[in-house]
Structure 1
Amino acid sequence: MGNQKWFNTYIYIWAGQFVSMITSYAVQFASVIWLSLEYQSAEILAYAGIAGMLPQALIGPFAGVYIDRINRKRIMIASDTFIALCAIVLIFILKSETVNLIWMYILLGLRSVGNAFHSPALQALAPLIVPPKEMLRVAGINQLLHSICSIGGPALGTLAIAILPISDVLYLDLIGALLAISALMMVIIPDTVKKTSDRSISAEFLDGLHIVSKNQGLSSLFLFAMAITFVIMPSAIMFPLLTTGHYGGGKWEMGLIEIVWGGGMLIGGAVLGIYKIGISKVVLVNFMYILLGLTFLLSGVFPNEWFIGFILVTAIGGVSLSVFYACFTAIVQIAVKPEMLGRVFSLYYSLAVLPSIIGLLLTGLIAENSSVNSTFIISGCLAIAVGLLSFCSPTLMQLDK
């Protein structure tokens, strides 16, 4: 595809995914508000987090093989269709019966299955369209869109759950999926995927593992990214309880914190999308580990009357996560052949999330028996340690070169 056409094609994809993401963020945050206010339990939030991550983590590596075998546009359309059908079924179920936790866990689990195919397919799509020299800038713009959704989604979700029952909020998921499908139908995407393969699914899955393992720099990148996910993700799910429990907020304060977090991500994505950054992407990734850990540490250390300080460090945390993820994605997209990206991204997600589920259970127990802010202090200290260690890895520091 000619360079003069790639941006026009990508703009259609961005438009559809933007609407889909903002409605998805809204439904997800409305569900978290409902769970937080209804039960005030760290364990229930932990179980909800597991329901939303475990299916995607388990089937992700094998989903990645199919993503690399099949046209990625079709994969994304099929995933969005599945999510829309799940939303329709759950709308009728939740309208006809009393809302209970089982249905919420089912909702999160089914969305996770759809995302197991959709998210890596979207990430693996970019190298088929975008010139290599524009990859980091596009990754920054992607983070910019995610950030806008992180701001608008919680605001929309807070408003929706304030005036509607949870069953009616699910209509947003349906609308977003249908618009994303419509946008994808309007574009032509180059198909460099092999049409047929005589090799088994397990063999092609091992190919993805081999791609990462034989590149020592990429292996180190994955290792430290998995470590940061393990120490940060469990506490990140507890943000609503930190807001309501430690800082004494309500649904609007929870929404404000999510909007501020999204604002930070917006700034990080905007900087990467507008300016060409001369600093090594690996150095930026490592520094973001330390900065993210510091924000978590301070969020747990601040006294409960320092809500303004909590808002400020949350914004900085959003910036650091946005820069980390954009740089990480760009590094992988450049280092791995396009026909292998689906299984590599899926492999990373599974390897990162499966250990985090154990951490999530431990975090839930610590929060129930101690305090939520203590989990943030522990996570922050561990994240800072991961960041410092990452600078000591020669193979990782050479990866950008």
Structure 2
Amino acid sequence: MYETKKWKSKFFIVAFGQAISLLGSHGVQFALIWWLAEKTSSPLMLGISGLVAYLPMTLFSPVAGIAADRLNRKIICIVSDLSMGILAAVYAGLLFFFDLPVWTVFIMLCARGIGNTFQQPAIQSIIPQLVPSDQLVKTNGWMQLMNAGSFFLGPVIGASLYAAFPMSVVLISDIIGAALASAALAVVKVPELEKHQLEQEPIARQLKEGFTVFQADSKLFYLVLGEALCMFFYAPLSSFYPLMTSDYFNLSAMYGSAVELAFALGMMISSLMFSSVLKIKRKIRTSFIGLFGMGISAAVCGLIPPTYWGWFFFAAACVCLGASGNIHSIPLTAYIQETVAPERMGRAFSVLTLISSVTMPVGLLAASPVAEKVGVNVWFFLSGAIMIIITSILIWYSKMKRRHP
């Protein structure tokens, strides 16, 4: 499946291209969300932004999984990246020449969501085609490290550009990132998958293949079930970060970018550990620990008082949130890449995308009115406490099932 002497160079070219693309995307995303937060100061509007961004994933992720297994994964990634770059260019031109209303950003977020839906399972499925199975934890660590670096620098770039230029200029960074990511992937030769009889089966049955992967592995099933339940409460938090800084702590955009940096720093530290010194044997258990840590960190965020010095504790808790997220996701991704058949891998990852895409809008529908009424900090605490309870119950239940099958 891969050439032993060349897999590292191929992997790092792909990973570097994706990191550059994410650098532009994170910068633009931060600027757009902060722009929306400043103009509306409404958790409901930020909730709607998350809803329109994730709804396409709910609708298209099953189809995206089949596409990643049946079509050329490399072409899917390139087309998705270039489409999002072209979209940013069109929106930048419209903003430059016209005074567009704020709600038009929802259209852009929705279209970008479609591109991401097809890109994610394809790029995740490409990695095991390039990398030996015993190196998947390390390479996923490196992948997350580069992504975290982009996440770390993206808000700084986004905040700086937002302070100095109109939004039409800020969008240029997304265009450049998409072009470079596509060029990097284009020069890498990705081995083709063998054709399987599965591709001739009806579409309805192919859609079920992604779910049967998890049903066949009880350990993976309980972990993914825990993720699905927890994400209902955790996913909306990403839309409320700007309001925690601007409204709860009453601080400026630069402090908002610093919170994003703190989250990215936690991601970078954990990614560096996975890519270098950590050797994970029990991936499922490690992933559960990460999910539990996410709950503790979120609950702590909601308990911090709204003072200037309290913001520093909030930033420290965000470091723990970023680290815990990687402790959950890196072992989970590596476990799927190791255990799932290559011709079903796209559908397996599309199920994870479907989980996040469903829980985000549904969670936002529940979280936005609550946060509007009682404050975003309350939702941080409630979501964290419930995640702790859910994870604890599933860990206990999975252990009991193994002892008494």
Question: TM-score under structure 2 normalisation?
Answer: 0.94
Provide the C-alpha distance between the structure 1 equivalents of 2:93 and 2:401, rounded to a whole number of angstroms: 53
CA deviations on 1:258-309 (whole Å, 9 max, x unpaired) are 0111001000100000113245222221122222111111111111121121
8 Å CA contact 2:117–2:353 kept in 1: the answer is no
Alignment partner for residue 217 of structure 1, among 187, 211, 219?
Answer: 219
Q: Does 1:112 align with 2:116?
A: no
Provide the C-alpha distance between the structure 1 equivalents of 2:98 and 2:374, rounded to a whole number of angstroms: 35
Q: 1:397 to 1:163 in 2, by over 3 A?
A: farther
8 Å CA contact 1:139–1:330 kept in 2: the answer is yes
Q: Does 1:6 align with 2:7?
A: yes
Aligned pair count?
Answer: 398
- Which of 250-259 and 213-222 deviates more? 213-222
Equivalent runs, 1:90-101 vs 2, <5 Å? 90-101=91-102
8 Å CA contact 1:25–1:153 kept in 2: the answer is yes
- Which of 44-53 and 380-389 deviates more? 380-389
Counterpart of 1:75, as a letter, is I
Q: 1:193 to 1:396 in 2, by over 3 A?
A: farther
Provide the C-alpha distance between the structure 1 equivalents of 2:400 and 2:336, rounded to a whole number of angstroms: 13
- Which of 11-20 and 43-52 deviates more? 11-20
Provide the C-alpha distance between the structure 2 equivalents of 1:116 and 1:285, rounded to a whole number of angstroms: 23
Alignment partner for residue 238 of structure 2, among 213, 222, 236?
Answer: 236
User: 2:264 corresponds to which residue?
Assistant: 262
- Which of 291-300 and 344-353 deviates more? 344-353
1:387 CA drift (Å): 2.1
1:102 CA drift (Å): 2.8
Counterpart of 1:229, as a letter, is M
Give RMSD over aligned pairs: 1.7
Alignment partner for residue 312 of structure 1, among 313, 316, 319?
Answer: 316
User: 1:352 corresponds to which residue?
Assistant: 356
Partner SS state of residue 181, structure 1: helix
Equivalent runs, 1:132-147 vs 2, <5 Å? 132-147=133-148
8 Å CA contact 1:12–1:187 kept in 2: the answer is yes
- Which of 21-30 and 164-173 deviates more? 164-173
Q: Does 1:343 align with 2:344?
A: no
1:65 CA drift (Å): 0.1
Q: 1:271 to 1:366 in 2, by over 3 A?
A: same
1:26 CA drift (Å): 0.5
Q: Does 1:364 align with 2:368?
A: yes
8 Å CA contact 1:390–1:396 kept in 2: the answer is no
1:71 CA drift (Å): 1.4
1:202 CA drift (Å): 2.4
Counterpart of 1:359, as a letter, is G
Provide the C-alpha distance between the structure 1 equivalents of 2:400 and 2:271, rounded to a whole number of angstroms: 23
User: 1:271 corresponds to which residue?
Assistant: 273
Counterpart of 1:330, as a letter, is A
Counterpart of 1:361, as a letter, is L
1:195 CA drift (Å): 8.3
1:247 CA drift (Å): 1.4
Q: 1:335 to 1:33 in 2, by over 3 A?
A: same
Counterpart of 2:188, as a letter, is V
1:248 CA drift (Å): 1.6
- Which of 47-56 and 343-352 deviates more? 343-352
8 Å CA contact 2:47–2:368 kept in 1: the answer is yes
Alignment partner for residue 338 of structure 2, among 317, 334, 337?
Answer: 334
Q: Does 1:283 align with 2:255?
A: no
CA deviations on 1:292-347 (whole Å, 9 max, x unpaired) are 11111111111112112111111111111122111111111112111111111112
Partner SS state of residue 279, structure 2: coil
Provide the C-alpha distance between the structure 1 equivalents of 2:38 and 2:355, rounded to a whole number of angstroms: 32
Provide the C-alpha distance between the structure 2 equivalents of 1:200 and 1:60, rounded to a whole number of angstroms: 17
Equivalent runs, 1:141-156 vs 2, <5 Å? 141-156=142-157
Counterpart of 2:230, as a letter, is I
User: 2:66 corresponds to which residue?
Assistant: 65
8 Å CA contact 2:289–2:327 kept in 1: the answer is no
Query: Which blocks of at least 5 consecutive residues in structure 2 are unaligned?
Result: none
Provide the C-alpha distance between the structure 1 equivalents of 2:40 and 2:305, rounded to a whole number of angstroms: 24
1:6 CA drift (Å): 0.7
1:357 CA drift (Å): 1.3
- Which of 77-86 and 252-261 deviates more? 77-86
Query: Aligned residues: percent identity?
Result: 27
Counterpart of 1:388, as a letter, is S
Provide the C-alpha distance between the structure 1 equivalents of 2:359 and 2:153, rounded to a whole number of angstroms: 31
CA deviations on 1:347-397 (whole Å, 9 max, x unpaired) are 221133213312111111011111111111100101111221232133799
Q: 1:146 to 1:293 in 2, by over 3 A?
A: same
Equivalent runs, 1:200-211 vs 2, <5 Å? 200-211=202-213
- Which of 207-216 and 11-20 deviates more? 207-216
Q: Does 1:48 align with 2:52?
A: no
Provide the C-alpha distance between the structure 2 equivalents of 1:355 and 1:6, rounded to a whole number of angstroms: 36
Provide the C-alpha distance between the structure 1 equivalents of 2:262 and 2:195, rounded to a whole number of angstroms: 43
Counterpart of 1:125, as a letter, is I
Question: TM-score under structure 1 normalisation?
Answer: 0.95
Provide the C-alpha distance between the structure 1 equivalents of 2:165 and 2:178, rounded to a whole number of angstroms: 20
8 Å CA contact 1:60–1:116 kept in 2: the answer is yes
- Which of 213-222 and 185-194 deviates more? 213-222
Provide the C-alpha distance between the structure 2 equivalents of 1:96 and 1:62, rounded to a whole number of angstroms: 36
1:191 CA drift (Å): 0.7
Provide the C-alpha distance between the structure 2 equivalents of 1:382 and 1:26, rounded to a whole number of angstroms: 31
CA deviations on 1:10-48 (whole Å, 9 max, x unpaired) are 111112111111001111111111111111100000000
